[in-house]
Structure 1
Amino acid sequence: MKTRTLMSDLKSKYADKSWNETLQLVRRCMEKTKGDGRVSEPITRCLEKINEALNVSSMTTMVSRLEMIAKQRGLGSHLSPTETVCYLTADLFYIEVVLLPGGRVEDVRAAHHGEPPVSSPSLLQLLRMKKFHEFSLKLDDLVSFYNIQGDSDVKVKIFSALRHLETDLFKISHLPRSLRESDLHVDLIMNGRIGNVQPGRDGAPMTIEYYISPLDVLMGLSDTGVVGVGRVALVMVGSSDTSHRLQMESLISSPPQVDSFGFPVFEPLTDSCSESLPATFLLKLQPALPMLMSFMEKIGKITDGVMAEKHLQVEPLPQLLMKTNTKQNSKISWTDGVQFAVPLPASEYHSYVFPGAEWGRESWKGALIHTVPFSHPGHVPALLEVLRHQSAINILLASCFTDHHLDAGLQYDLRCEVLPESDHCLSVTFSLDDGNHLAVLQVTVVDSHQMSCGLLMPDFVDHNLDDYVSRVLVRCMSIPITMRAIRRKVSGLIAGPVPEADPELTTAMDIITSAPLSDESAPDFPGAVEPPASVSHEAAEEEAMATSPGYYVMSVASPLADNANTEAVADPSPCVSLGVYSHWVTGGLPAELL
Structure 2
Amino acid sequence: MTDLKSKYADKSWSETLQLVRRCLEKTKGDSRVCEPIAKCLQKINEALNVCSLTAMVSRLEMIAKQRGLGSHMSPTETVCYLTADLFYMEVVLLRGGGVEDVRVAHHGEAPVSSPSLLQLLRMKKFQEFSLKLDDLASFYIISGDSDVKIKIYTCLRHLETDLFKISHLPRCLRESDLHVDLIMNGRIGNVQPGKEGTPMTIEYYISPLDVLSGSSSTGEGSVGQTALVTVGSSGASHRLQTESLISSPPQVDSSGLPVFQPLSESCSELLPATFLLKLQPPLPMLTPFIEKMGRITDGVVAEKPQQVEPLPQLLMKTSKALSSEISWTDGVQFVVPLPASEYHSYVFPGAVWGRESWKGVLVHTVPFTHPGHVPALLDLLRHQSAINVLLASCFSGHNQLIDAGLLCDLRCEIRPESDHCLSVTFSLDDNNHLAVLQVTVVDSHQMSCRLMMPDFVDHKLDDYVSRVLMRCMSIPITMRAIRRKVSGRTTPPEPAADPESSAAMESDVISAVHPSVSREAVEDESVTSPPGCSVMSVAAPEPDNANTDAIANRSPCASLGVYSRWVTSGLPAELL
TM-score normalised to structure 1 length? 0.88
Q: Specify whether residues 277 and 11 from structure 1 end up closer, same or farther in structure 2 by C-alpha distance, changes over 3 A only.
A: farther
Q: Which amino acid aligns with 2:28?
A: E
Alignment of 1:143-162 (within 5 A): 143-162=137-156
Structure 2 vs 1, CA of residues 263 and 471 (structure 1 numbering), >3 Å: closer, same or farther? same
Structure 1: distance between partners of 2:355 and 2:61 = 54
Q: How far apart in 1 are the matches of 2:141 and 2:100?
A: 29
In the alignment, which of 10, 22, 25 is matched to residue 23 of structure 2?
25
Q: Distance in 2 between matches of 1:180 and 1:517?
A: 28
Partner residue in 2 for 1:327:
321
Call closer, same or farther: CA 1:6–1:95 in 2, change over 3 Å: closer
Residue 417 of structure 1 pairs with residue 417 of structure 2: no
AA partner of residue 331 (structure 2): G
- Residue-by-residue CA offset, 1:153-192 (whole Å, 9 max, x unaligned): 1000110010000000000000000000010000000000
Decide which moves more: 347-356 or 117-126.
Answer: 117-126
For residue 585 of structure 1, the aligned residue among 560, 567, 572 is 567
CA distance in 2 between counterparts of 1:542 and 1:412 reads 45
Whole-Å separation in 2 of the counterparts to 1:292 and 1:274: 33
Aligned pairs (5 A) from 1:226-245: 228-245=222-239
Deviation of residue 21 (structure 1)? 3.5
The correspondence for 1:166, drawn from 139, 160, 177, is 160
Give 1:92 shift: 1.1
Separation (CA, whole Å) in 2 of partners of 1:88 and 1:117: 13
Residues 181-192 of structure 1 aligned to structure 2 (within 5 Å): 181-192=175-186
Equivalent in 325, 340, 343 of residue 334 of structure 2: 340
1:225, distance to aligned residue in structure 2 (A):
10
Q: What displacement does 1:326 show?
A: 2.5
Tell me the equivalent position of 2:533.
Answer: 541
Contact 1:79–1:85 (CA under 8 A) maintained in structure 2: yes
The amino acid that maps onto 2:314 is: L
Letter in 1 for 2:457: V
Please show how residues 63-212 of structure 1 align to structure 2 within 5 Å. 63-212=57-206
Partner of 2:401: 406
- The corresponding residue for 2:430 is 434
Give the superposition deviation at 1:105: 1.1
Distance, in Å, in 2 between the alignment partners of 1:473 and 1:582 is 14
Aligned match of 1:568: none
What is the aligned counterpart of 2:469 among 454, 465, 473?
Answer: 473
Deviation, 1:43, is: 2.7
Deviation, structure 1 residue 42:
2.5
Select the residue among 518, 533, 537 that pairs with 1:529. Answer: 518
Q: 1:216 aligns with which of 204, 210, 214?
A: 210
The residue type paired with residue 428 of structure 1 is V
Give the Cα–Cα distance (whole angstroms) in 2 for the partners of residues 254 and 151 of structure 1. 34
Q: Please, which moves more after superposition, 7-16 or 164-173?
A: 7-16
Give the CA deviation at 1:519.
3.5
CA distance in 2, matches of 1:264, 1:303: 17
| Residue identity in the other structure for 1:448 | S
Greater relative contact order (Cα 8 A, min sep 6): structure 1 or 2? 1
CA contact 2:180–2:216 (8 Å) conserved in 1: no
Q: Secondary structure at the match of 1:282?
A: strand
- How far has the Cα of 1:285 moved from its partner? 0.5
Q: Distance in 2 between matches of 1:402 and 1:13?
A: 60
Map Cα deviations across residues 409-440 of structure 1 (whole Å, 9 max, x no partner): 21010011111101200011110222412111
Structure 1: any 5+ residue segments left out of the alignment?
A: 552-573
Distance in 2 between the 1:46 and 1:267 partners? 57
- 1:53 corresponds in structure 2 to 47
1:62 equivalent in structure 2: 56
Q: Pick closer, same or farther for the CA change 1:95–1:378 going to 2, 3 Å.
A: same
| 3-state DSSP of counterpart to 1:102 | coil
Shift of residue 48, structure 1, vs aligned partner: 1.7
Overall identity of the aligned pairs, in %:
73
Q: Which 10-residue stretch deviates more, 46-55 or 296-305?
A: 46-55
Q: 1:57 to 1:335 in 2, by over 3 A?
A: closer
Cross-structure match for 2:443: 447
Q: Deviations over 1:283-305 (max 9, x none)?
A: 01011111101101110000000
Q: Contact 1:220/1:227 (CA < 8 Å) preserved in 2? A: no
Deviations 1:248-283 (A, max 9, x none): 000000111100111000000000000010000000
Indicate conservation of the 8 Å contact 1:518/1:533, yes or no: no
1:580 Cα deviation (Å)? 1.3
Contact 2:529 2:569 in 1 (8 A): no
Is the CA contact (8 Å cut-off) linking 1:246 and 1:276 kept in structure 2?
Answer: yes
Cα RMSD, aligned residues only:
2.5
Distance 2:219 2:340 in 1: 27
Distance change in 2, residues 1:156/1:360 (3 Å): same
Q: Counterpart amino acid of 2:266?
A: S
In structure 2, relative to structure 1, the CA distance for the partners of 1:97 and 1:225 (3 Å cut) is closer
Partner of 1:558: none
Offset at residue 26 of structure 1 (A): 3.4
- C-alpha distance in structure 2 between counterparts of 1:99 and 1:411, whole Å: 66
Residue 270 (str. 1) matches residue 257 (str. 2): no
C-alpha contact (below 8 Å) 2:179/2:219 kept by paired residues: no
Alignment size in residue pairs: 553
Q: CA deviation at 1:334?
A: 3.0
The answer as to whether partners of 1:57 and 1:103 remain within 8 angstroms in 2 is yes
After the TM superposition, which of the residue ranges 125-134 and 388-397 deviates more from structure 2? 125-134
SS in 1 for 2:469: helix
Q: 2:70, 2:220 → 1: CA distance?
A: 42
TM-score normalised to structure 2 length: 0.91
Q: Summarize deviations over 1:507-550 as a string: whole Å, max 9, x none.
A: 69xx9xxx998544534121231322544556553699779354
State the Cα distance separating 1:333 from its structure 2 match.
4.0
Q: 1:99 to 1:537 in 2, by over 3 A?
A: closer
Aligned residues of 1:63 and 1:86 also touching (Cα < 8 A): yes
